[in-house]
Amino acid sequence: MFSKTLIRIGMIGAVCAVAGAVWRFTLPQQAAIRSGSTAFSALQDGIHKVTYETRAAILTASRAGAGGRFAVDVRYGDGRPEQRCGSSADLDGVLPRLAEIKARRALTLEQVAAEFPVQVGVLTLEDRIAAEPVEPFTVYMTGDRSSVALVYDNTAFEAVLEPKIFVRLEAGCAELAAK
């Protein structure tokens, strides 16, 4: 009887942990995105891998444990040599901006195509708590690269993010290396 109770408690705990992780990383549907709302949020220390893919390169920054420094690896598709460097626990200030992303406004996919015609890359954030990576964000910018829109699944929003965050990620070790 006692062992059955422990098994039930263990199963309930596992279900609650999974449900908590799913709730924490469930991105809101388009209808829930409003001006000023948080469109994505994760604990900064929980993010263990950041991948940013562009036409020219793939940047992967990963770390072994919460709060640890990142190892950055940049691979280029045009023959340039691979870059490797170490970066700080906050990716030289980039990670705090990606750990909580606010929406300036919700967008339709048609608005993204018309107002944010430049697809600059795909951002993937992985967390130790979630069993799977968060749905990747496709990153778009206005023609003058002054504003950012993010699209995941069929949901789109203009993000309260400085475009230079993605310029820094694309620059790789030149911008992110520990100083």
Spell out the domain ranges in the chain. Answer: 28-176
- Report pLDDT digits (tens) over 5-56: 434 434 334 333 333 433 334 444 444 688 888 988 888 888 999 999 999 9
Dihedral in degrees, nearest 10, Cα atoms 126, 25, 90, 178: 10
Q: Using 50, 70 and 90 to split pLDDT, how confident is the model at 153?
A: confident
What are the residues facing 71 on neighbouring strands? Answer: 62, 86
Q: What is the pTM of this model?
A: 0.79
In angstroms, the CA 37 to CA 103 distance is 6
> At 145, which amino acid appears?
R
